Amino acid sequence: MSAVIEELHHDGHHHGPDKGIMRWVFTTNHKDIGTLYLWFSFLMFLTGGVLALGIRAELFQPGLQIVQPELFNQLTTMHGLIMVFGAVMPAFVGLANWLIPMMIGAPDMALPRMNNYSFWILPFAFGMLLSTFFMDGGAPNYGWTFYAPLSTDYAPPSVTFFIFAVHMMGISSIMGSINVVVTILNMRAPGMTLMKMPLFVWTWFITAYLLIAVMPVLAGVVTMMLMDIHFGTAFFNAGGGGDPVLFQHVFWFFGHPEVYIMILPAFGVVSAIIPTFARKRLFGYDSMVYATASIAFLSFIVWAHHMFTVGIPLAGELYFMYATMLIAVPTGVKVFNWVATMWQGAMTFETPMLFAIAFVILFTIGGLSGLMLAIVPADFQYHDTYFVVAHFHYVLVPGSIFSIMAAVYYWIPKWTGNMYDETLGKTHFWLSFIGVNVTFFPQHFIGLAGMPRRIPDYALQFADWNMVSSCGAFLFGFSQLLFLFIVIKCIRGGKKATDQVWEGAHGLEWTIPSPAPYHTFTTPPTSMKEAHG
Amino acid sequence: MSAQDAYEEYYVPHNSKLPIFASFGIFLTLYGMGNMFNEMKAGVDSSFGELVFMTGSLVMGGTLFAWFSVVIKENQEKLYSNQMNRSFVWGMSWFIFSEVMFFAAFFGALFYVRVFVVDWIGGVGERGPSNMLWPEYQPHWPMLNTPDPIRFPGAADFVHWWPLPFVNTALLLTSSVTVTIAHHGINEGNRKKLVTWLGFTVVLGLIFLCVQAYEYYHAYTDLGLTLNAGIFGTTFFMLTGFHGAHVTLGTFMLAVMFFRALKGHFSKEDCFGFEAAVWYWHFVDVVWVGLFLFVYILGT
């Protein structure tokens, strides 16, 4: 993507990038692979976004205008799958690839060939998933959570390819995470002790652990589906002594840690950006590490809060309610620390900082609606309504996605050697900020009023706020074309970035030239005094 | 952490053609398998799926062979620093952890069915009253009769832990001992000891697989216990089947190490390929002990 300069050849092992397209296919370089992940993720973000706009266009007014219910179900399902597995997760893996070796003073990721493999599985997996739109019976239509028996007895034939696509994504994630864990455990420069690592590295370390622990469980649950569909097993069929609710238990044992997989690296990004633009050290570094680890631990023991209405025993409902509410404690520690970092700081509001502050505020809104959903009797009302949709879009869009955008603005001068256009960046921020809130805030109201999720048509009393929400969605969606323009403009040129880029930035990645040379830290750095973010 | 003065170059290959072939191979394999399954289910007579599947398997197999050959060759050429070797050690450990979690999903399904579903489906326990579909149904574990015997015909009997599973337990536990003796062979620089005991281990693995295959044959023909017999057949065949697949892979890995040992590879300082296979072998061994306990003894 960028005109990466070649480093001085002080020994025979320093190569610049190859010429031509095959550079990207054969590369083992963590920066190239990071770039591939980020562009792939952006492509999937636009694909999933187009599907979302299809949904919002249909919901602009009551009645069926644009798509039939069958296609509508495919749109919601594929939107969720593509955004979760194709947009958010690969974007964070891309950031991990670019940044972790530079942040810990490593020459590359620990297992470079496997790194390439982790990426190149993904285009094949999503090619297979998207091809289901053109198959008999259409694409998956059972929601991104693919509950049995909707996804087994009543699924279209394309479910087989959905299952194999998920297997491929899982293989990619597991290999990618093993690479991250091994890099962090084994490749740190001398003096970079664990408690000196930047928080982005810490949060990814914990995220990678979560991925290795739960992606195999996802592989397990889709394998059970495959066997139920094609080989007559009875996992999710009560007629054979199985239980459809078993599907939900296994799925959410994966699914809840998955939610934190999509937010913990975002915590790391925000913990890097806020200190830079507040020009203060991060408040409570140690407590941030422990809070992240606590959130990760709790994520394994709260899964059934997604299932309060399926009829689990009362003791189970109580346990999962209280365990879920416990997560608010370490999350509160994090929000407190971010605010305390900004407190009395010499703040400036460049684009990454705007996205980071919006993250803190809007993610907190999503967290608080999550607390409402955790209360069992309240959840009986909110379950499967637009309130749930509003809740998880608040943590995923102005949460995960905003943090990814913040990260791109924050580190793109290091990647390309050029500053992005600040005016355009701020315009992009405000358009996105307004678009997101106009889209998702009204969904709280229609959800509390009783509008169910995943339906193409609705009662008249929900019409006004749905129209508002659809307008916001189109504003947010088309604003992302501006983001694409800003990124391309920055790659092609602009004000030259200094090595440190940001006046308040600390950490090893800011000690190397901008743009970062093709190979960095082939011998480990000696000075760690800049290391502590 | 390597000390600064003792820094060795970390080997980063400039580029590699292997991963893209592996990506393409896994895609073809799974795409072909998907077509095979869907053709089978729809009753379509077509060899398209099989053809794609076979092609994919060949691409994948060839690529993996080439990939491991390259890594072994690079290791023989001493391109790998101690730090690089530690990366392999960590990588293999976390891979085995991911495998543990895969089995945990299936064990979890078994426990959930045993602890909750059996009662509830018979109308007993906290969720029992919610079962209104089969009021006459009397479940007990092992669940040889099912609520819906037309779709899930049930079985006449289950596989008793004695004699076959017990023999298999003995085989696998013995193989863990023999592979440890082989490891001692490396440490003592005694190649004959290494080759002999590693060969024994591979043979024990193969015998295990034969016994397991005979057990399946016995279950299908004599007991009527099949994959679609209901939840007992489901959990039994899926748990033991995935374990069997892992034993197959483990035996294959040990066989590769056997031929590498014949070629003179491995020394006390440099034998991680061997150790990785041994770790994997111990892992399938531990899973088997869990199976023997929860599927065969407590499960029946």
The per-residue pLDDT for range A467-504, each reduced to its tens digit, is 999 999 999 999 999 999 999 999 999 999 999 999 99
DSSP string over A317-331: HHHHHHHHHHTHHHH
Amino acid code (one letter) for A27: T
Residue B1 confidence (pLDDT):
42
Contact A388, A379 (CB under 8 A): no
Q: What are phi and psi of A27, to 5 degrees?
A: -65, 150
3-state secondary structure labels for all residues of A177-195: HHHHHHHHHHCCCCCCCHH
Which one of A36, A40, A178 would you mutate to disrupt binding with B, by most B Cβ within 10 Å of its Cβ?
A178
Contact A498, A9 (CB under 8 A): no
Task: Tell me the Ramachandran region of residue B189: left when phi exceeds 0, alpha when psi lies from -120 to 50, beta otherwise.
Answer: left
DSSP string over A124-138: HHHHHHHHGGGSTT-
Rg of chain A (C-alpha set): 23
Contact B102, A217 (CB under 8 A): yes
Q: Given an 8 Å threshold on Cβ–Cβ distance, is B113 in contact with A242? A: yes
pLDDT > 70 in chain A, percent: 96
Q: Given an 8 Å threshold on Cβ–Cβ distance, is A216 in contact with B98? A: yes
Distance between CA atoms of residues B296 and B243, nearest Å: 14
Residue B264, pLDDT above cutoff 80: yes
Task: Tell me how far CA of residue A285 lies from CA of A189, A282, A504, B59, in angstroms.
Answer: 20, 6, 17, 48
Cβ-nearest to A234 among B18, B94, B230: B230
Residue B5, pLDDT above cutoff 90: no
CB contacts < 8 A (A, B):
235
**Which residue in chain B is spatially nearest to A106 when comparing CA positions?**
B10
- Helix extents (H) in B43-140: 48-76, 82-112, 118-121
Angle separating helix axes A264-278 and A89-104, nearest 10 degrees = 50
The answer to whether B17 contacts chain A (CB < 8 Å) is yes
Residue A470 annotated as catalytic = no
Residue B8, pLDDT above cutoff 90: no
Residue A58 confidence (pLDDT):
97
* Residue length of chain B: 300
B207 CA to centre of own chain: 16
**Which residue in chain A is spatially nearest to B127 when comparing CA positions?**
A313
Residue A479 confidence (pLDDT):
97
User: Residues of B with CB below 8 A from A187's CB?
Assistant: 10, 83, 87
Contact B172, B214 (CB under 8 A): no
Give the start-to-end residue ranges of the domains of chain A.
Answer: 24-510
Distance between CA atoms of residues B234 and B155, nearest Å: 11
Q: Which one of A30, A79, A188, A280 is the catalytic residue?
A: A79
Q: What are phi and psi of B15, to 5 degrees?
A: -155, 175
∠ Cα B217 B220 B225 (to 5°):
135
Task: Note the pLDDT tens digit of each residue in B49-102.
Answer: 999 999 999 999 999 999 999 999 998 888 888 889 999 999 999 999 999 999
What sign results for the dihedral spanned by CA atoms A28, A217, A206, A357?
A: positive
Distance between CA atoms of residues B27 and B53, nearest Å: 9
Indicate the pLDDT class of residue B183, thresholds 50, 70 and 90: very high
Task: Note the pLDDT tens digit of each residue in A173-223.
Answer: 999 999 999 999 999 999 999 999 999 999 999 999 999 999 999 999 999
Residue B288, pLDDT above cutoff 90: yes
Residue B138 confidence (pLDDT):
86
Task: Note the pLDDT tens digit of each residue in B242-257.
Answer: 999 999 999 999 999 9
- How many DSSP H helices and E strands does chain A contain? 18, 0
Distance between CA atoms of residues A295 and A266, nearest Å: 13
Q: Given an 8 Å threshold on Cβ–Cβ distance, is A241 in contact with B230? A: yes
Distance between CA atoms of residues A10 and B231, nearest Å: 65
Q: What is the CATH number of domain A24-510?
A: 1.20.210.10
DSSP B152: S
Instruction: Show the tokens assigned to B138.
Output: 């009397």
- Helix extents (H) in A135-243: 159-186, 199-230
**Which residue in chain B is spatially nearest to A527 when comparing CA positions?**
B4
Distance between CA atoms of residues A129 and A232, nearest Å: 24
Residue A331 annotated as catalytic = yes
Whole-angstrom distance between the N-terminal and C-terminal Cα of chain B? 50
Q: Given an 8 Å threshold on Cβ–Cβ distance, is A174 in contact with B98? A: yes
Indicate the pLDDT class of residue A15, thresholds 50, 70 and 90: low
Residue B212, pLDDT above cutoff 50: yes
Residue B127 confidence (pLDDT):
77
Distance between CA atoms of residues A302 and A272, nearest Å: 29
Residue A523 confidence (pLDDT):
87
Residue A2, pLDDT above cutoff 50: no
The answer to whether B30 contacts chain A (CB < 8 Å) is yes
3-class DSSP assignment, residue A496: strand
Residue B140 confidence (pLDDT):
86
Q: What are phi and psi of A251, to 5 degrees?
A: -60, -45
| Contacts for B58-63: CB closer than 8 Å, 24+ residues apart | B59/B21, B59/B24, B59/B25, B59/B28, B59/B29, B60/B22, B60/B25, B60/B26, B60/B28, B60/B29, B61/B25, B62/B21, B62/B25, B63/B18, B63/B21, B63/B22, B63/B25
Distance between CA atoms of residues A23 and A31, nearest Å: 12
Residue A13, pLDDT above cutoff 80: no
What is the value of ipTM here, to two decimals? 0.95
Q: Given an 8 Å threshold on Cβ–Cβ distance, is A235 in contact with B109? A: yes
Q: What are phi and psi of A70, to 5 degrees?
A: -60, -45
**Which residue in chain B is spatially nearest to A243 when comparing CA positions?**
B117
Residue B7 confidence (pLDDT):
64
User: Residues of A with CB below 8 A from B15's CB?
Assistant: 18, 23, 26-28
pLDDT > 70 in chain B, percent: 98
Interface of A with B in 250-309 (CB under 8 A): 250, 253
Indicate the pLDDT class of residue A527, thresholds 50, 70 and 90: low
Mean pLDDT value of segment B228-245: 95
User: What mean pLDDT, rounded, does chain B reach?
Assistant: 92
Higher pLDDT, A503 or A1: A503
User: Residues of A with CB below 8 A from B276's CB?
Assistant: none
Cβ-nearest to B109 among A114, A216, A250: A250
Matching residue, tokens 């095979």:
B36
Residue A182 confidence (pLDDT):
97
Q: What are phi and psi of A362, to 5 degrees?
A: -75, -35
Residue B32, pLDDT above cutoff 90: yes
Closest C-alpha among B91, B49, B93, B46 to residue B71: B91
Spatial neighbors of A489 by CB under 8 A, at least 6 apart, are: A420, A421, A424
Residue A12 confidence (pLDDT):
43
User: What mean pLDDT, rounded, does chain A reach?
Assistant: 94
Q: What is the pTM of this model?
A: 0.95
pLDDT > 90 in chain B, percent: 74
Contact B8, B57 (CB under 8 A): no
Cβ-nearest to B14 among A25, A28, A226: A28
Task: Note the pLDDT tens digit of each residue in A228-276.
Answer: 999 999 999 999 999 999 999 999 999 999 999 999 999 999 999 999 9
Indicate the pLDDT class of residue A522, thresholds 50, 70 and 90: confident
Higher pLDDT, B130 or A236: A236
Q: What are phi and psi of A452, to 5 degrees?
A: -75, 155
DSSP A418: B
Indicate the pLDDT class of residue A14, thresholds 50, 70 and 90: low
Residue B6 confidence (pLDDT):
55
Instruction: Show the tokens assigned to A275.
Output: 């200190």
Note the maximum CA span of chain B: 77
Distance from CA of A426 to the nearest CA of B (A): 39
Distance from CA of A23 to the nearest CA of B (A): 8
3-class DSSP assignment, residue B15: strand
Residue A203 confidence (pLDDT):
97
Indicate the pLDDT class of residue A7, thresholds 50, 70 and 90: very low
Residue A503 annotated as catalytic = no
Residue A525 confidence (pLDDT):
86
The answer to whether B214 contacts chain A (CB < 8 Å) is no
Distance between CA atoms of residues A404 and A398, nearest Å: 10
Residue A529 confidence (pLDDT):
53
Cβ-nearest to B16 among A106, A116, A235: A116
Indicate the pLDDT class of residue A528, thresholds 50, 70 and 90: low
Residue A179 confidence (pLDDT):
97
Q: Which one of A32, A258, A317, A350 is the catalytic residue?
A: A258
